[in-house]
């Protein structure tokens, strides 16, 4: 596919230069078409074709597993990243005196679930950053014999710093610590291999870099750890004989699907599946390389107009997020004025945050630069 082919899959370009994928992304055309088709079906036939929807969602579970180099029975569908992280936080076999290690500056979804464990005697240890970077040796220094889990964002939402998951997975394995990843800011841009990276648990929503709808996400739990995490919410779909409504048979499914307690967000998951299929067809290596080119262009042009780029941009730490400041410009006001010019970006932590995707081109970058410099 050519660049124009990719751009044709994003109707948002008819109205916007969209550099806000780290917030809520615009729907890709495959997701839009799947939502419309399902809505027509549901309106015209009710649940007559429900079996077809369920079958399609199961096919998408296998595709989601491909996205993580995982196995289908290690994947559960969740509403959002917070739900997945909460499943780990509330279901883990904590003992009083245990501790969890996280980095400073994490998105609240990866902070509050661990803070909520204080009443159970579990300590949250927050490791300071070094120049917006999360240093593995600092994380290790915070660990002791009672550290049970490290939870980290693949990409930090504010700065755009990307952690080396393989290195952190190796660290956790060496220390006997479980490894949990909030992958929402990296999934859809960077290939992930949960086995090679020694990830034990992973959660991610699809409404950012996978350009899907809100309310549909993935939760991964390593097969060997399935029984370690106690389901904190159990319903009719959690058990083996889920459709045998007349008989109570409390045997949990022998897969991550036991964490799916009730009816799916069917339309959301069908649309998310269409996104995953689309991204797998494009190829994550191709997406990654195009995002690198787009963000490099942003960095170069921000610096050319006198701006200062805060995001780490080393080979193993860059991401689709470019955080920057412009002399004499208030970030929030700049965002509002840029939107009036048809350019969408964000402000985080007192800085502007641009997050282009693989379909954005150099003309989009130039329009963004003109909007923020003239705002």
Tens of pLDDT, residues 144-161: 999 999 999 999 999 999
pLDDT of residue 374: 84
Looking at domain 3-27+283-374, which of 3.40.30.10, 3.30.930.10, 3.40.50.720, 3.90.1150.10 is its CATH number? 3.90.1150.10
Q: Specify the CATH number of the domain 33-281.
A: 3.40.640.10
pLDDT of residue 182: 98
Quick one: average pLDDT of 245-274? 97
Please name which of 186, 145, 215, 363 lies closest in space to residue 291, comparing C-alpha atoms.
Answer: 186
Q: 82-106, pLDDT tens digit by residue? A: 999 999 999 999 999 999 999 999 9
Put simply, whether the predicted model's pTM sits higher than 0.95 gets the answer yes
For the cut 70, the answer to whether the pLDDT of residue 375 exceeds it is no
Q: 2-60, pLDDT tens digit by residue? A: 888 999 999 999 999 999 999 999 999 999 999 999 999 999 999 999 999 999 999 99
pLDDT of residue 2: 85
Place 191 in a pLDDT band, splitting at 50, 70 and 90: very high
Burial class (CB in 10 A: 0-12, 13-18, 19+), 234: middle
Query: How much of the chain, in percent, has pLDDT values that exceed 90?
Result: 98
Q: Are 305 and 326 in contact (CB under 8 A)?
A: yes
Instruction: Locate the domains of the chain by residue range.
Output: 3-27+283-374, 33-281
Mean pLDDT, the chain, whole residue set: 97
Q: Are 289 and 265 in contact (CB under 8 A)?
A: no
């Amino acid at each position: 596919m050519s660049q124009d082919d990719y751009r044709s899959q994003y109707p948002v370009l008819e109205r916007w230069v969209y550099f806000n994928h780290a917030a809520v992304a615009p729907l890709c055309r495959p997701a839009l078409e799947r939502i419309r088709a399902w809505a027509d079906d549901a309106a015209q036939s009710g649940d007559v074709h429900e079996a077809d929807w369920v079958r399609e969602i199961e096919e998408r579970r296998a595709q989601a597993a491909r996205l993580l180099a995982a196995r289908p029975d290690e994947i559960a569908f969740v509403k959002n990243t917070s739900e997945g992280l909460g499943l780990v936080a509330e279901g883990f076999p904590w003992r009083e005196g245990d501790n969890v290690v996280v980095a400073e500056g994490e998105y609240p979804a990866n902070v509050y679930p661990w803070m909520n464990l204080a009443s159970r005697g579990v300590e949250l240890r927050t490791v300071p950053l070094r120049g917006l970077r999360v240093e593995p040796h600092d994380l290790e220094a915070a660990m002791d014999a009672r550290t049970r889990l490290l939870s980290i964002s693949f990409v930090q939402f504010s700065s755009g710093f990307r952690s080396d998951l393989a290195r952190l997975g190796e660290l956790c394995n060496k220390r006997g610590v479980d490894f949990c990843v909030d992958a929402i800011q990296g999934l859809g841009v960077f290939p992930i291999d949960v086995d090679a990276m020694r990830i034990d648990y992973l959660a991610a929503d699809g409404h950012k870099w996978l350009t899907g709808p809100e309310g549909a996400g993935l939760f991964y739990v390593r097969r060997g750890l399935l029984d370690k995490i106690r389901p904190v919410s159990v319903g009719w779909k959690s058990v083996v004989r889920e459709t045998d409504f007349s008989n109570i048979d409390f045997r949990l499914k022998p897969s991550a699907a036991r964490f799916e307690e009730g009816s799916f967000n069917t339309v959301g998951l069908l649309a998310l599946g269409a996104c995953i299929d689309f991204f797998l067809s494009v190829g994550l290596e191709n997406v990654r390389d195009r995002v690198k080119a787009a963000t490099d262009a942003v960095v170069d042009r921000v610096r050319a107009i006198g701006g200062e780029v805060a995001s780490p941009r080393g080979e193993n730490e860059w991401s689709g997020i470019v955080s920057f400041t412009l002399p004499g410009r208030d970030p929030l006001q700049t965002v509002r004025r840029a939107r009036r010019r048809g350019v969408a970006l964000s402000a985080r932590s007192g800085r502007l945050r641009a997050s282009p995707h693989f379909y954005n081109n150099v003309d989009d970058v130039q329009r963004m630069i003109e909007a923020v410099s003239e705002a």
